Amino acid sequence: MNKITWQSPSNIALIKYWGKHGVQLPSNPSLSFTLNECNTITELFWKEGDGNIELLFNGESKERFTARARDYISSIDSYFPNLKKLDLHIDSINNFPHSAGIASSASAMSSLALCLCSMDEEISGKKLSKEEFYRKASEIARLGSGSAARSVYGGFVSWGISDKLAESSDEYASPLPIKVHKSFEDMRDTILIVDQGIKAVSSRAGHKLMSRHPYAKQRFALANKNFRDLLRALQKGDNSNFIRIVEAEALGLHSLMMSSSPGYILLKADTLKIIHRIRAFRELSCTPLCYTLDAGPNVHLLYHDKDSAEVEEFITQELLLYCSDKYRINDHVGNGPIKL
Ligand code: DP6
């Protein structure tokens, strides 16, 4: 069998993608930075055949994931004319817990999309330019999971049309075309794992509830404004606006979940305790750190590299007691996927 391997990271959204329409098109622009340590490694094996697909996730065959991969691959066969004449074996390994609110679908789907694009180049003999390759991979990744569109690039990445970015698109993500202030280039993200369990409501189901959400219109307008304001803060190195916007997006995401119909809560008591501690520590120490949340109970603590020693002491003394088995992941802005 032939083989391609890609390692692709997860990402953390600062402006959240929450709500979609059409074929996986976002209802508002989102902005994230790509992580470095939370990765999926996907090996894609192929040989001539008749469209059979097998999938191992962390070494195990799981019917739910295999069914999702089969649906996904049949949904993108117009991009890859050869797919029906191949048998595929996909072996994906995650180095962090899946379904726990760390965007594992982002790393899993982006690594698979990158493998499919590389495989297509090998089979067809047609090599795309670097820019075309990643744009296509982002579009293919988006069709698997929206947030995965952003994971094919390193650094700060946006996805979705914004009037502030001429080249922005709903179809694929792009690296931010602005110069991010150097104080944000080395941003750290310590992920405080409050709960490793599988979420009660998936992101896919959560997005669906946005289509008839009473606050949908206001949410999409606010996300556009937050996106514009965050771009400015990132350019200027403006910590106080960065903190204000990022925390408003985090709480805004969870308030949309709570005010959906039916409403639901993914936060845990310890998530709230951590948030209160972070606010108190910031007020007392004046260290510019803040939190964001994904669709789950775990807290992403964001801070600058230069404050690492002070923040580490705060984490060990005040936050780890709220983490499941004192588990946290130290991560930071990463350079994006690697072909292995
Ligand atoms: C809260 O990308 O997981 O992490 O497109 O249905 O696969 P699907 O959803 P997904 O949603 C992620 C939502 C979020 C915010 C974000 O990453 O922008």
List, for residues 119-165, the tens digit of each pLDDT value.
999 999 999 999 999 999 999 999 999 999 999 999 999 999 999 99
Report, as an integer, the average pLDDT of 157-176: 97
C-alpha to C-alpha distances, 287 to 229, 244, 249, 263, 264, nearest whole angstrom: 21, 14, 20, 35, 33
The share of the chain scoring above pLDDT 90, in percent, equals 90
CB distance 146 to ligand 1 below 6 Å: yes
Q: Give the pLDDT of residue 196.
A: 84
The response to whether residue 105 sits with its C-beta less than 6 Å from ligand 1 reads: yes
Nearest ligand 1 atom to the CA of 253 is: 1
Please work out whether the CB of residue 39 comes within 6 Å of at least one atom of ligand 1. Answer: no
Q: Is 57 in the pocket of ligand 1 (CB under 6 A)?
A: no
Given the DSSP bridges, would you call strands 25-26 and 53-57 parallel, antiparallel or unpaired? unpaired
State in Å: Cα 284 to ligand 1 middle.
34
Q: Would residue 22 be called left, alpha or beta, if left means φ above 0 and alpha means ψ between -120 and 50 degrees?
A: left
State the first-to-last Cα distance of the chain, in angstroms, to the nearest integer: 17
Cα–ligand 1 centroid distance for 147 (angstroms): 5
Residues of the chain above pLDDT 70, percent? 98
Residue nearest to atom 4 of ligand 1 (CA): 294
Please name every residue paired with 188 in a beta bridge, in sequence order, or none if there are none: 303, 332
- Cα-to-centroid distance, 310 and ligand 1 (Å): 32
pLDDT of residue 97: 66
In short, whether 294's Cβ falls inside 6 Å of ligand 1 is: yes
Look at the pTM and tell me if it is higher than 0.95. yes
Q: Give 18 Cα–ligand 1 centroid separation in angstroms.
A: 7
Asked whether residue 27 carries a pLDDT value surpassing 90, the answer given is yes
Q: Which of 41-50, 102-111, 151-160, 165-174 has the lowest mean pLDDT?
A: 102-111
pLDDT at 9: 97
d(CA 223, CA 97): 28
| Those residues with Cβ within 8 angstroms of residue 128's Cβ, 6 or more apart along the chain or in another chain | 117, 121, 136
Region 225-252 average pLDDT? 98
Q: What is the distance between the alpha carbons of residues 27 and 314, in angstroms, rounded to a whole number?
A: 37
73: Cβ–Cβ under 8 A, 6 or more apart, which residues? 53, 83, 88, 116
Average pLDDT over residues 193-214: 92
Judged against a pLDDT cut of 90, whether residue 62 lies above it is answered with no
pLDDT at 64: 85
Mean pLDDT score, 176-204: 92
Alpha carbons within 13 A on the beta-carbon side of 315: 25
Q: Is the pLDDT of residue 241 over 70?
A: yes
Q: Ligand 1: does its nearest atom lie under 6 Å from the Cβ of 30?
A: yes
Between CA 63 and CA 249 the distance in angstroms is 34
Q: What is the pLDDT of residue 103?
A: 60
Q: Is the CB of 145 under 6 A from ligand 1?
A: yes
**Mean pLDDT, range 45-58, rounded to an integer:** 94
Residue 298 CB less than 6 A away from ligand 1: no
Q: What is the mean pLDDT of residues 107-126?
A: 96
Confirm or reject: Cβ of 147 under 6 Å from ligand 1.
Answer: yes
Burial 232-264 (b: 16+ CB within 10 A, else e): ebbeeebbeebbbbbbebbebbbebbeebeeee
Given a cut of 70, is residue 98 above it in pLDDT?
no
Distance from the CA of 72 to the center of ligand 1, in angstroms?
Answer: 16
Q: Is 207 in the pocket of ligand 1 (CB under 6 A)?
A: yes
What count of other Cβ atoms lies within 10 Å of the Cβ of residue 337?
A: 26
Q: What is the Å distance from ligand 1's center to 276 Cα?
A: 25
The β-bridge relationship of strands 20-21 and 156-159 is: unpaired
Measured from the CA of 109, which atom of ligand 1 is nearest?
7
Stretch 232-253: mean pLDDT: 98
Which of 10, 139, 207 for a ligand 1 pocket mutation test, highest count of atoms within 8 Å of Cβ? 207
Say how many residues make up the chain.
340
* Three-class secondary structure of residue 91 per DSSP: strand
- Between CA 13 and CA 21 the distance in angstroms is 19
Mean pLDDT of 251-256: 98
